[in-house]
Amino acid sequence: MPGEGYLTGEFFMSGDEACAEGAICAGCRLFAGYPITPSTEIAERLSGRMPEVGGTYIQMEDELASMAAVLGASWGGLRAMTATSGPGFSLMMENIGLGAMIETPCVIINIQRGGPSTGLPTSTGQGDMMQARWGSHGCYSIIALSPYSPQELFDLTIRAFNISEKYRVPVFVMSEADTGHMYEKVVIPPVDEIEITPRRKPSVPPEEYLPFKPDDDLVPPMANAGEGYRFHATGLTHDERGYPVSSEEVQDKLVRRLVDKIDKNRDDIIDFKEDGVDGAEVVVCSYGISARVSLVAVERARAKGIKVGMLRLITVWPFPEDRIRQISRQIGAFVIPEINYGQIALEVERCAGAGARTILVPHMGGGVHNPDTILQAIERAAR
């Protein structure tokens, strides 16, 4: 979507600023949010940038209203986003569940900090990873991405908008204070070179349109409000018309599809990076800033002659369980550093089963791991 107001070239900017620019390049034209450390710089930048590209910035009264505004804007045809951190993420969960139920494409950025509760407002954490998957009640599937650099915050924000439109689902970008506040070179390509996934619109006339009738990939085409199509969107269990139906049969059909439209398209959604996994005896599995710190430990372990590989999760949800199971049959142990007391480590352990051991390297937040702590865990795993 070429136009005035886009940046192009190489920039020295923070991860939060790169995220904001990624949203603009992805076509986001509505940001609704409430300031909260350490994500505030996203809102601050977009408050100035949105008017420059013909978009709208709204500072809402709280995070509940922010999420409601994002859902409404999406149904009105806009690409919409909000940004928050742990306490705000908790407040958004009710409307995130509504977004999953009425299949609303949108993006939620969580720049994580130390918790629980108010916790460490200005310091880093990764304690919201399970909340991203299970934070709202009921059964549904969600998508969550984990960048580990300002460049990836730019790139993955664009990808988040694309897959949210493709699968009609809220998508999370789960970063942290360290990555959000880190300054590095960020390359922004010309906007006409950025791939944009358009919203899938109905191919039938308005009188034949059913807003929740899926295509073969289990995703329904989506008409925007005001385009002449009749629709009904409700958080109640509903049929393909969107009308509430209180029956086990309709509940079963709807919920299975909400889950399956993500799980049956896992190969298209899941992304990860491997380094030295083939032939390794130990594999460090991590994500975000913890994966970045782990690189130092992996290099030191290799210098000591330890056969260690690295598996960096870019898509955390849906979880790459097939690949974890494959690797678990080839190695002795996984080492999982994360800035919490064990969340993704539980998923690795579940998928590894009776195969490889899992060794959690926890950090309670406020800062990143000391690479030597991860190195010591790699050495224990290699014995």
User: Residue 286 has what pLDDT?
Assistant: 98
Question: Has residue 362 got a pLDDT over 70?
Answer: yes
Residue 348 lies in a domain: yes
Q: H or E stretch including 72?
A: helix 63-75
User: Residue 124 has what pLDDT?
Assistant: 97
Please answer whether residues 354 and 329 qualify as being in contact, where contact means their C-beta atoms are separated by less than 8 angstroms: no
User: What pTM was computed for the model?
Assistant: 0.97
Q: What is the CATH number of the domain that holds 101?
A: 3.40.50.970
Question: Has residue 280 got a pLDDT over 90?
Answer: yes
Question: Has residue 43 got a pLDDT over 60?
Answer: yes
Largest CA distance in the chain: 69
Please compute the mean of the pLDDT values over residues 33-62 and round it to a whole number: 97
| Best CA proximity match to 307, nearest among 287, 285, 331, 325 | 331
By the 10 Å C-beta count (0-12 exposed, 13-18 middle, 19+ buried), 197 is classed as middle
Question: Has residue 1 got a pLDDT over 70?
Answer: no
Residue 23 lies in a domain: yes
Question: Has residue 119 got a pLDDT over 80?
Answer: yes
Residue 370 lies in a domain: yes
Who has greater pLDDT, 107 or 354?
107
Residue 294 lies in a domain: yes
Tell me, yes or no, whether 41 and 143 share the same domain: yes
Structural domain count, the chain: 2
Tell me, yes or no, whether 25 and 170 share the same domain: yes
Tell me, yes or no, whether 282 and 189 share the same domain: no
What is the tens place of the pLDDT at every residue in 172-199?
Answer: 999 999 999 999 999 999 999 999 999 9
Question: Has residue 231 got a pLDDT over 90?
Answer: no
Residue 236 lies in a domain: no
What is the tens place of the pLDDT at every residue in 324-342?
Answer: 999 999 999 999 999 999 9
Tell me, yes or no, whether 187 and 333 share the same domain: no
Residue 203 lies in a domain: no
Q: Which residues pair with 28 in a beta bridge?
A: 79
By the 10 Å C-beta count (0-12 exposed, 13-18 middle, 19+ buried), 48 is classed as exposed
As a whole number of angstroms, the distance between CA 229 and CA 9 comes to: 41
Give the position of tokens 């690795």: 348
Question: Has residue 4 got a pLDDT over 80?
Answer: no
Question: Has residue 2 got a pLDDT over 50?
Answer: no
283 Cβ neighbours under 8 A, 6+ residues apart: 277, 308, 309, 310, 311, 327, 331, 333, 334, 335, 356
As a whole number of angstroms, the distance between CA 176 and CA 216 comes to: 37
Q: Give the domain extent around 316.
A: 273-382
Domain boundary residue, one of 193, 222, 253: 193
User: Residue 3 has what pLDDT?
Assistant: 53
Domain boundary residue, one of 140, 160, 193: 193
Phi/psi zone of residue 117: left (φ > 0), alpha (ψ -120 to 50 degrees), beta?
Answer: left
Secondary-structure breakdown of the chain: helix, strand, coil percentages, each rounded to the nearest 5: 40, 20, 40
Residue 139 lies in a domain: yes
Residue 207 CA, distance from chain mean position: 36
Please compute the mean of the pLDDT values over residues 297-325 and round it to a whole number: 98
Q: What is the CATH number of the domain that holds 286?
A: 3.40.50.920
Tell me, yes or no, whether 283 and 176 share the same domain: no
Residue 246 lies in a domain: no
Tell me, yes or no, whether 189 and 292 share the same domain: no
What is the tens place of the pLDDT at every residue in 62-79?
Answer: 999 999 999 999 999 999
Domain boundary residue, one of 193, 224, 249: 193
Tell me, yes or no, whether 169 and 289 share the same domain: no
Tell me, yes or no, whether 184 and 73 share the same domain: yes
Percent of the chain predicted with pLDDT > 70: 99
> Quick check: helix, strand or coil at residue 178?
helix
Tell me, yes or no, whether 33 and 159 share the same domain: yes
